Structure 1
């Protein structure tokens, strides 16, 4: 999953999860707060002397009252409720007092209020100074029933409902917020830690890779397999490491090749130079004291100079090819016609040298390749020259075979020699390699022929390789146009 997508999902979760949990917490916390609210105001009601609340308690169940005798049981139950609140009770039925437990203080209070208000008025609630009078009047079978509660020492409980509610709501909100903050913090820590782990590991891996490259170690691996932005970065970093390693290896190989090239040049130039020096000294010291000897010495000096000239030309060509500054002249040609023409020229070139050349083609005339006539000729002639130069039999048999597949034209040149040891096949295309460790036969060639051939074929976007097949076979692969 991409980091951007992961961060988006994480941020959504950081918003949604706390909101859901806050709603759940608010719902759960609402239950104990509601209960606490009910319990608190239930306690207020139990100790409250509020007259209107008392009036509600003075309403008997009229279904249980058929005559005044039924009112005898009601005062006993009602007085248990009124006594803690300081109220005393008077019950009249059709103007007759059927129950009363008033005291002298109550009578004084009644006298202050007046009998008219007490017995003749309808239901009422009266609070005057420290006196509280509550009266319920109702008619039963055309008889007026009055239930009167009086408290001469009334001290109402004053409850600031607004303040109580504000305190309760604020407490509720504070607790919900505190719990919500804790939940949000825990949620964010958990989600952030997961994101942090996803971010810190590739960063540490990149830091490790940079440290390894700084220390010159290019053999480590970037083992990061997640399919995110860092996966692409780590992949690019590892590709950079591989390219850098390849570049370093190529540089080391280049330096090694240069060293081998210097050694080869030194060796191959020393031999003809030594011979030239010897023959010149022979001429100078009068060793060649006859015209025949002098001519022989001069011919040898000329031959050695020509060998050196060939070597220098080969070195110059190899150098230009190696640095990529050789001016190729490419043409698009029919590969079959080209190889047939080369085959006819080669037969003339090696006529009378105990060389038998055959040609077989399984390639269409319409198969086109891009090549440089002269340079491909140089490659093919060098291969044929090597087959003749290193022959093991009196009669050298060379087979030229041309065929194709969907993308390439393939040319194979085989001889009937003894081949090359398998462990040395990969060295054939190195500069100055002759398969002769002692390198004591410079007259057999410069050792640059196949190295030059490899550069030329690669400049044609092709490949050249060697393998043993009852002799040595050189295979050249060129892309079709």
Structure 2
């Protein structure tokens, strides 16, 4: 239920329910006391009493227009029946003589009735035979010019009953109104206040750093939406903290890996420099060999730093890609020609198999994609350094929407447990890491994903490994 609807229903119920309850109580009182106990303030009784009053008091009443009607037996019978139903009495006086009465009145009773009827405030009552009556007096003028008075006596108990009924109804309305408000407040506590307390507790737990405190959906629609938003906020905050901790761990790993990777070439450079300074390199040929080694180690350090900077820029999306539509077959052949001399020096052969049925184009950055191919070639060479005659095979095939490039080597292979991690930076294992910066495949993955592509590895056991690249067709 919506909160707005609940508020409308709550406000309406605080008025409608007491009114309905009061009406039911009034009807019950009319029925019980009017029917079962014979107390005359039932609805029928009040209706008859009101009709008689109207007939007597109204300016257009029959008594006023034609008082001679009292002479008719049928009207007298009708009037007596009406008076009997409400336990009332009537008295008609003409020229100080009783013209008609519903019972025998003494002269004293007649005098008292006339005296009470003359009182303006009607606060006085007439007591006859232990019964109190209120007196309604109307002056009557006959057609012959004579004057008369009609007195209607109504039991005061009836009026007291009406007053008691009104008091009862007012008290019932007040009590029902109070009870209804208590019920509505209780319902609000369950549907609104309790969920808000739950949200307050959850906010307090989150403020303490307890991001595992889940927030359930309860209450009305608006509060449930608030719970969902806060739960989503908690999840995102938890992910953010987790990512931050992961970045912190990566930073520590980065520092540790850089220190480890730089220590070996720096130690070698330091050793060879000290050898030259100490005179260990006693002839020009040995000095030249030492210097070449120092230059090689310095180049390795420079390459490590370049790889680290490139990965950092790729990770922060600071390097823009210069995409162009190219023929994938010609592009791969140019990459093979460029790297083929390096493979020959390492005694590694290379082959290319084009399984495409027609010419296909892809949208890539030439330089960045070339870095991917070279990094994979370098990684393959590391696997095959002590594995006899090496061989790299490139297979090019397509699917409905993408181009698949497979670069397979016949190296020592990668353990199945290491396959999901070989594209992580600085991942170390005996099979997946030999030497270098440890960022080659990580850089390749970043570049491929920058092309909206996908890269993964397939192990062939001791027969080598395949690196698979998927690129969208252009």
Task: Tell me, yes or no, whether TM beats 0.5.
Answer: yes
For 1:283-314, what per-residue CA distance to the aligned partner results, in whole angstroms no more than 9, with x for missing partners? 11211111111111111111111111111211
- Name whichever of 426-435 and 345-354 sits farther off: 345-354
The answer on 1:454 being equivalent to 2:454 is: no
The aligned residue for residue 435 of structure 1 is: 429
- Distance change >3 Å, CA 361–CA 202, structure 1 → 2: farther
Work out which of the two has the higher radius of gyration on C-alpha atoms and give 1 or 2. 1
Equivalences for residues 273-292 of structure 1 within 5 A: 273-292=266-285
The aligned residue for residue 9 of structure 1 is: 9
For 1:181-229, what per-residue CA distance to the aligned partner results, in whole angstroms no more than 9, with x for missing partners? 3233333333432232111332233223222222222223222266711
Work out which of the residue numbers 362, 372, 391 in structure 2 matches 1:396. Answer: 391
CA contact (8 A) 1:279 1:297 kept: yes
Q: Shift in Å at residue 130 of structure 1?
A: 3.6
- Give distance in 2, aligned partners of 1:405 and 1:399: 20
Q: Secondary structure at the match of 2:368?
A: helix
Q: Shift in Å at residue 356 of structure 1?
A: 2.7
The answer on 1:311 being equivalent to 2:311 is: no
- Give distance in 1, aligned partners of 2:361 and 2:24: 79
The aligned residue for residue 420 of structure 1 is: 414
CA contact (8 A) 1:429 1:451 kept: yes
Aligned-CA RMSD value: 3.7
For 1:32-70, what per-residue CA distance to the aligned partner results, in whole angstroms no more than 9, with x for missing partners? 45332269x9xxxxxxxxxxxxxx9xx9xxxxxxxxxxx
Q: Secondary structure at the match of 1:342?
A: helix
For 1:103-124, what per-residue CA distance to the aligned partner results, in whole angstroms no more than 9, with x for missing partners? xxxxxxxxxxxxxx9xxx9976
Q: Secondary structure at the match of 1:36?
A: coil
The answer on 1:269 being equivalent to 2:262 is: yes
- Give distance in 2, aligned partners of 1:156 and 1:225: 67
Q: Shift in Å at residue 433 of structure 1?
A: 2.6
Equivalences for residues 68-147 of structure 1 within 5 A: 129-130=107-108
Q: Shift in Å at residue 241 of structure 1?
A: 1.3
Q: Shift in Å at residue 29 of structure 1?
A: 1.7
CA contact (8 A) 1:402 1:411 kept: yes
CA contact (8 A) 1:401 1:413 kept: no
- Give distance in 2, aligned partners of 1:349 and 1:3: 70
Q: Secondary structure at the match of 2:133?
A: coil
- Name whichever of 167-176 and 409-418 sits farther off: 409-418
The answer on 1:342 being equivalent to 2:337 is: no
For 1:414-458, what per-residue CA distance to the aligned partner results, in whole angstroms no more than 9, with x for missing partners? 33334322222232122223423998x5xx321111122233233
The aligned residue for residue 24 of structure 1 is: 24
Q: Shift in Å at residue 381 of structure 1?
A: 1.8
The answer on 1:240 being equivalent to 2:230 is: no
- Distance change >3 Å, CA 233–CA 415, structure 1 → 2: farther
- Give distance in 1, aligned partners of 2:391 and 2:220: 61
CA contact (8 A) 2:191 2:219 kept: no
The aligned residue for residue 40 of structure 2 is: 37
The answer on 1:168 being equivalent to 2:142 is: no
The unaligned stretches of length 5 or more in structure 2 are: 46-69, 74-94, 112-127, 135-153
- Name whichever of 264-273 and 384-393 sits farther off: 384-393
The answer on 1:465 being equivalent to 2:456 is: yes
- Name whichever of 217-226 and 310-319 sits farther off: 217-226
- Give distance in 1, aligned partners of 2:178 and 2:404: 71
- Give distance in 2, aligned partners of 1:205 and 1:255: 33
Q: Secondary structure at the match of 1:8?
A: helix
- Distance change >3 Å, CA 477–CA 30, structure 1 → 2: farther
- Give distance in 2, aligned partners of 1:194 and 1:156: 54
For 1:51-108, what per-residue CA distance to the aligned partner results, in whole angstroms no more than 9, with x for missing partners? xxxxx9xx9xxxxxxxxxxxxxxxxxxxxxxxxxxxxxxxxxxxxxxxxxxxxxxxxx
How many matched pairs? 377
CA contact (8 A) 2:456 2:467 kept: yes
Q: Secondary structure at the match of 2:325?
A: strand
Work out which of the residue numbers 441, 445, 450 in structure 1 matches 2:436. Answer: 445
Q: Shift in Å at residue 400 of structure 1?
A: 3.2
The unaligned stretches of length 5 or more in structure 1 are: 42-55, 60-116, 134-153
For 1:137-163, what per-residue CA distance to the aligned partner results, in whole angstroms no more than 9, with x for missing partners? xxxxxxxxxxxxxxxxx9996612496
CA contact (8 A) 2:325 2:362 kept: yes
- Distance change >3 Å, CA 277–CA 14, structure 1 → 2: same
CA contact (8 A) 1:355 1:388 kept: no
Q: Secondary structure at the match of 1:333?
A: strand
Q: Secondary structure at the match of 1:357?
A: strand
CA contact (8 A) 1:29 1:176 kept: no
The answer on 1:330 being equivalent to 2:333 is: no
Q: Shift in Å at residue 279 of structure 1?
A: 1.2
